[in-house]
Structure 1
């Protein structure tokens, strides 16, 4: 009953959410390099309404909130709605199957999904989708997606396009693994486990890290841009859902990879999106 009460409250709250959030503050600073003017909305792409969703039946509860400002980017809005519609359809199908004779009987299935702005500049617009879908079991399945939109060309940027070479993914994989292993060691040290238990935990978690960060763009499909002072990108924050690089209890994990690591491996057409690495004193004196 507590779970049902909470889910109903969530549905009511989502229904009250604003349909559109104000545009985020500019990521540029005074004196920054001039940016290309924002692209005009593409009149050839039909506008997509992003209406919040609040549904409650005896079999399922759904709450979807669009806390984004995508009116200028109908193509991006269509991608967000497609992702949400697919998640909603899958949950409803699962609920229908449960309602059939012989199906499971338990608390209502539920879907909670929120879209939020990550960045908006003339060159890059990014949106995060976070939530979960519960169809039985101990906990819900995470719903995590990232959408990086290029307004000037009207398309999504994918990890495979961004870094086209295998050598680049080897460098990124090595860097990310190093950061994740270091974070794992810190967490285990904080738990003060007995030596044998610590060794087992580190062994299992390390295997998950290595398996989930193969030098393949598919393992790095979720990423979001990090803003530099001049409005370009200081690097990328790679996002790993629960179970990819650790147990469910570790939650979503992220690793920030700076532009200086990425730039040698970025496809030439996207290098201007990134801020040039700052020279250190030794380099500057040459």
Structure 2
């Protein structure tokens, strides 16, 4: 597999638009044309698909940048798939067409904050597909992206040990539930992740207009074997309230809304 097809590179491509936006901090958002909710293309070598929920239209500045970055990512994937498959066919192989999909989901929001995440699924003739998450957090008043560390009182220097412990216990509880057997990270050969090193978005609250907590996103292999699937772990805002940045403290209240779907299917 070439470098451009590596999943680690995908995250950088998806982040490109947000990084560019950060450099324009505090500039008014330019008018955004109506952005499509779907981009799809199919060739003899690859099939790609980019989708957004209708709710994304409410935030055109986020939608437009995510669409542009996603479309570019998929067009690069199609071109590289053609080159890679041609090389394999020349060697006598008969690889199936490759596949890449990017699906965006709007998560929680408050009067001040908005968040969404994408699931990128990638198949390039292996035993199974691979998937990664990418999370975005935006300030609705400034229309600027917010670095996740800025949610907390001391930025990346904030002590999140209590949240990290809670996160690990919740992962082990969910893994034990799926495995129908007590499971710990240490015994299973996996480590307990740190919140700062993880992808997370906001959860809607039982209090209207507020944030009820964080949804921490783990792709297969991140915290357990591939067969266990992805994990979406909920951290109630009460667990992190003491370390929330005062600028955003008023946005957090209540409890996370009830779970409606299981990410593992």
TM-score normalised per structure 1: 0.67
The 1:62–1:102 alpha-carbon spacing in structure 2 relative to 1, beyond 3 Å, is: closer
Structure 1: state its 5+ residue gaps: 1-41, 192-197, 278-286
What secondary structure is seen at the aligned counterpart in 1 of 2:47?
Answer: strand
- Equivalent residue in structure 1 for 2:216, among 235, 238, 243: 238
Q: Does 1:179 align with 2:170?
A: yes
- Equivalent residue in structure 1 for 2:194, among 214, 230, 243: 214
Q: Does 1:73 align with 2:59?
A: yes
What secondary structure is seen at the aligned counterpart in 2 of 1:145?
Answer: strand
- Other-structure match for 2:12: none
CA drift of 1:78 comes to 2.8
In structure 2, distance between residues paired with 1:121 and 1:276: 12
Q: Check conservation: 1:125, 1:151, Cα contact below 8 A.
A: yes
- Other-structure match for 2:47: 61
- Equivalent residue in structure 1 for 2:94, among 83, 88, 105: 105
- Equivalent residue in structure 1 for 2:245, among 254, 260, 267: 267
Superposed counterparts of 1:141-180, under 5 Å: 141-163=130-152, 164-180=155-171
- Other-structure match for 1:9: none
Superposed counterparts of 1:197-208, under 5 Å: 203-205=186-188, 207-208=189-190
In structure 2, distance between residues paired with 1:68 and 1:146: 18
The 1:274–1:139 alpha-carbon spacing in structure 2 relative to 1, beyond 3 Å, is: same
| Count of residues in Structure 1 that have an aligned counterpart in Structure 2 | 223
Q: Does 1:258 align with 2:236?
A: yes
CA drift of 1:43 comes to 5.5
In structure 2, distance between residues paired with 1:77 and 1:68: 10
CA drift of 1:76 comes to 0.6
Q: Check conservation: 1:91, 1:133, Cα contact below 8 A.
A: no
CA drift of 1:202 comes to 6.2
In structure 1, distance between residues paired with 2:136 and 2:158: 25
Q: Does 1:85 align with 2:85?
A: no
TM-score normalised per structure 2: 0.72
In structure 1, distance between residues paired with 2:247 and 2:43: 49
In structure 2, distance between residues paired with 1:147 and 1:241: 16
- Other-structure match for 2:122: 133
- Other-structure match for 1:23: none
